[in-house]
Structure 1
Amino acid sequence: MYGTKQENPPLIKWTRRMALVLVFVLFCGWLDTIKDRWYVFNPDSLHQLAQEAIAVAGHNNTQGMIDHIVSTLSTTHAPWINTNKAEWVFNNAGGAMGAMYIIHASITEYLIIFGTPLGTEGHTGLHSADDYFNILVGEQWAFKPGSLEMEKYPAGSVHHLPRGTAKQYKMHEGCFALEYARGWIPLMLPFGFADTLSSTLDIPTLYHTVRVTAREMIGNMLIGKI
């Protein structure tokens, strides 16, 4: 009937939707180019700190190493450090199991102590962040498709896993490490929660992991650390 307003054809609706998706993708791409302005940690400095902790505390003195690392960072990075060393929680991810203490968590970085005295192995995950695994005690082994020999990372070394890559890894006969990730940390969280939701059903651990992570991320955002 003349004068009746017609609905937009489906083509116009889909064009608008695709335009919104394109704008979102471009915005995310722009954010990715500037994320380094929010970094407060340096991979080389953390590697030096891990080596220093081993030298000061002595080999196999895991608690002494952790104390030295947290004490040092509490001086050099005071506003961004969680000093409550009693906040250890289990972590099941990629089939591997250990425990972690979250030293720092924000939108673009996290720093944790992760390990187990029992040994474990699993999938590293495929992440949107670079991961630096600074071995404190024990040894980590790693393997990627196409390699016929394993990679070995002893105490004092660092295993760098570039974002977008994945490996099988094993913490042989027990291992603890200072793990640092820089990139888009929230995109890593589903990997960290998947085993709990699909296998262990350890809801108390999930609760405490979310509680501490959210507290640290929000607290850092309130002081301008994204």
Structure 2
Amino acid sequence: MTYKIDTDVLGKVATQAVGMPLENGELVTRAIEALAGEYPDLIDRTPGRWVGSKAGGILGKVRFLYFSPREYIVIFGSPSGTQGFSGRYKHVQIHKFLIAGQIDWYDIESDDITCHTLLPGGHATMGKGQARGMTIHPGSWHIEYGRGAVATTLPFAMMDTLLVSLEFESVRRSAVEFAKLVKNRIPASR
């Protein structure tokens, strides 16, 4: 199965963003510009809206950059830090490319009882069906890329925000951002 996004290219983009200042959004702006440079037909350079996200107890800010039935790209992070459950995606492989901060994680069900650390410029992959405990340290931001049946991630991505936090506005904003990305991918009728 072929995909439009290449993980090696995302790794290169993440490395280019590492070291950029967090102030005034320069880090995120640089990452988006580099992604749009690599994928001009997929990534829109115009500023999008940050949306609050709480999934598996992990609370942060997400910026949607690309969404299709088989792939997505977002920038996710937390100025103050957060921790929780990664989710288990049986039909999607998740890649994280850290551009600032630190993420510590451990596999929940493997025999491995060690903690792993992701540092800026690093790349971690969570295979289909895997689940992790995670700590995202303050000031941590990453490019997240999902590959597979993307729609199957949405219940986990939305339910904590909707049913536990009762934060309807964030769910509404997420739906609006998804709709904009999908609309921009549909060719105009002639």
Q: Which has the higher contact order (CA 8 A, sep 6+)?
A: 2
Rounded Cα–Cα distance in structure 2 between residues aligned with 1:131 and 1:148 = 21
**Preserved contact between residue 62 and residue 137 of structure 1 (Cα < 8 Å):** no
CA contact 2:158–2:171 (8 Å) conserved in 1? yes
TM-score by length of 2: 0.89
Is residue 2:96 matched to residue 1:96? no
Percent identity between matched residues is: 23
Amino acid corresponding to residue 51 of structure 1 in structure 2: T
Structure 1: how far apart are the matches of 2:149 and 2:64? 17
Partner of residue 43, structure 1: 7
Secondary structure of 2:5's counterpart equals coil
The residue number in structure 1 matching 2:158 is 193
Q: Is the 8 A contact 1:82 1:102 kept in 2?
A: no
SS of the equivalent of 2:101 reads strand
Deviation at 1:69, TM superposition (A): 2.1
Paired letter, 1:129: V
Aligned residues: 185
Please, which moves more after superposition, 72-81 or 153-162?
A: 72-81
- C-alpha displacement of 1:81: 1.3
Q: CA deviation at 1:46?
A: 0.3
Name the residue aligned to 1:132.
95
| Alignment partner, residue 18 of structure 1 | none
User: Residue 163 and residue 205 in structure 1: after superposition, are their counterparts in 2 closer, same or farther (change >3 A)?
Assistant: same
* Deviation per residue, 1:144-203 (Å, 9 max, x gap): 133322011111101111111111111023311011111111010000011022111111
The 3 A distance-change label for structure 1 pair 61 and 155 is: farther
Q: Is the 8 A contact 1:132 1:161 kept in 2?
A: yes
Structure 1 residues 70 and 201: alpha-carbon distance in aligned structure 2, compared to 1, 3 A threshold = same
Query: Do 1:136 and 1:176's aligned partners in 2 also have CA atoms closer than 8 Å?
Result: yes
Could you say what secondary structure the match of 1:222 adopts? coil
Determine the structure 1 residue equivalent to 2:79: 117
* Aligned residues of 2:69 and 2:150 also touching (Cα < 8 A): yes
Letter in 2 for 1:88: W
| Amino acid paired to 2:77 | G
Instruction: Give the counterpart of 1:202 among 155, 162, 167.
Output: 167
User: What TM-score comes out, normalization by structure 1 length?
Assistant: 0.76
Separation in structure 2 between the aligned mates of residue 87 and residue 177 of structure 1, nearest angstrom:
16
Ranges of 4+ aligned residues in structure 1 off by more than 4 Å: none
Larger Rg: 1
| Aligned mates of 1:62, 1:118 — CA distance in 2 | 16
Q: Which has the higher helix share?
A: 1
Alignment gaps of 5+ in structure 2: none
2: CA distance between counterparts of 1:86 and 1:218?
Answer: 14
